[in-house]
Amino acid sequence: MGGFVLAIDQGTTSSRAIVFDGEMKIAGVGQQEFTQHFPQSGWVEHDADEIWESVVAVVKTALDKAGIGASDIAAIGITNQRETVVVWEKATGRPIHNAIVWQDRRTAAICHEMKEKGLEEVFAEKTGLLLDPYFSGTKLAWLLDNVEGARARAEAGELLAGTMDAFLIWKLTGEAAHVTDATNASRTLLFNIETNAWDDELAGLLNVPLSMLPEVMDSAADFGVTKASLFGAAIPILGVAGDQQAATIGQACFQPGMMKSTYGTGCFAVLNTGETLVRSKNRLLTTIAYRLDGRTTYALEGSIFVAGAAVQWLRDGIRVIGKAEESGQLAAEADESQQVYLVPAFVGLGAPHWDADARGAIFGLTRSTGPAEFARAALESVAFQTRDLLDAMRKDWADASGQTVLRVDGGMVASDWTMQRLADILDAPVDRPTILETTALGAAWLAGSRAGVWPGMAEFSQAWKLDHRFEPAMADGLRETKLAGWRDAVRRTLS
């Protein structure tokens, strides 16, 4: 058996499989988009069976492109869109309803009612999370209350539930393993991140039977073995992590104080706090970065709901660009004397505001404002939101108050203009790595190191390579003027 490792990256809009060779280089890729369902305003769903079929297809494609067979793969690592939840029949593996996606806002009223009862503090203390529709727990409760017969069937032991990783493992192993890892469990509102166990009190408050939920394992563990009939040989599944935690691992942010930010549809910044569980006083999330050999590493996380989605809005919503990659070039042509701000609260504002009812707004328009100013405002909004997260992290954790270097990944980081503006607004260096597939790489490392075919943590960290460091170059006065304008725009947008 060679050193090939397969990463399954099950994302929000597509499923991908990447084969890495023994030198951790990409040998083959398969990717397939799947349908986004929007049954009502603010609702987002996925067909879990369609996702399953896409995963099988992309794995076969990746193996073909790598020119290898399943027997050449030492291990599989899985990374997945977090918080998206599925309920399925134990007997058949058939979902009882579409999966409810992390972006879905249908449980906003449930969250509001629980906050009114003073329950947010209970959840925050145990899970590190806030009561927001973003997380899995209220979505799972909604499914049990709104799918006919679901609650009775769940209590009778006929139904299973989990995040997308758990559903995929159930299917991959031929219904032999109902398991998840600590990073995914930590995003459900049902998992106590201090005791590292499902919590009876939280399950009672959400009225979710704990018997439905998967066993929680380390991020590198023996999760099961794939059915040989799927790909031609049985392959062990040895690594699992939610997408943002996998990216943190892929960026080799293993030391306390190291920080990564992923710029995809949304933006997710994660700051490693080591074995210290830092409880945020600034509306950030405390979460599990990874759990290895039974030892938990914690992190502070800030979630921005709209990052790359703002560029999609430029392209598809107001049609000022034809392709996403045109945004940086257009922004560079903007009139610097115009201070135009976009607050992209299209689905509310995430950290540190957590205002589900806020909506997007543009400020500072003049008669001479045009496409270039819109493009710059959209890209700068990502930098401003990241600065808000960094400021909150520094307030929460004294060890983060020094010079922070941000490691970045995701589709937006290909734009030099955007990354330079990010460094300027943060007043901190921004490091772009040579390998941008850090989410898949993180999942692959968990599996490959567990299988003994890839290096351990120290050697893996040394293998991380810099493509370009963006140093801040903006004058302090201009930066402060821009930040003041941004904060004013956000204040006017909050509900």
Comparing 85-89, 196-200, 245-249, 318-322, the range with the smallest average pLDDT is 318-322
Q: Which tens digit of pLDDT belongs to each residue from 403-447?
A: 677 899 888 888 899 999 999 999 989 999 988 888 999 999 999
Q: What is the mean pLDDT of residues 371-385?
A: 92
Q: Which tens digit of pLDDT belongs to each residue from 301-352?
A: 998 888 888 888 888 888 887 887 778 888 888 888 899 999 998 878 888 8
Question: Are 464 and 256 contacting, i.e. CB atoms less than 8 angstroms apart?
Answer: no
Q: In the numeric block, which tokens belong to residue 147?
A: 């799918």
Residue ranges per structural domain of the chain = 4-244
Q: What is the pLDDT of residue 380?
A: 94
Comparing 219-223, 240-244, 389-393, the range with the smallest average pLDDT is 389-393
Q: What is the mean pLDDT of the chain?
A: 92
Selected residue with higher pLDDT from 286 and 346: 286
Q: What is the pLDDT of residue 381?
A: 93
Question: Are 219 and 247 contacting, i.e. CB atoms less than 8 angstroms apart?
Answer: no
Q: What is the pLDDT of residue 323?
A: 83
4-244: CATH number: 3.30.420.40
Q: Which tens digit of pLDDT belongs to each residue from 461-473?
A: 988 889 999 999 9
Q: What is the mean pLDDT of residues 196-202?
A: 96
Q: How far is CA 247 from CA 111, 134, 145, in A?
A: 29, 19, 34
Percent of the chain with pLDDT over 70: 99
Q: What is the pLDDT of residue 400?
A: 55
Q: What is the pLDDT of residue 313?
A: 85
| Residue 12 binned pLDDT confidence (cut-offs 50, 70, 90) | confident
Q: Which of 223-237, 386-400, 429-443 has the highest mean pLDDT?
A: 223-237
Residue that has been written with the tokens 């793969």 in this structure? 73
The Cα 373–Cα 431 span in angstroms is 26
| Residue 402 binned pLDDT confidence (cut-offs 50, 70, 90) | low
Selected residue with higher pLDDT from 64 and 13: 64
**pTM score:** 0.88
Q: What is the pLDDT of residue 264?
A: 82
Comparing 144-153, 429-438, 476-485, the range with the smallest average pLDDT is 429-438
Q: What is the mean pLDDT of residues 31-39?
A: 90
| Residue 1 binned pLDDT confidence (cut-offs 50, 70, 90) | very low
Selected residue with higher pLDDT from 357 and 457: 457
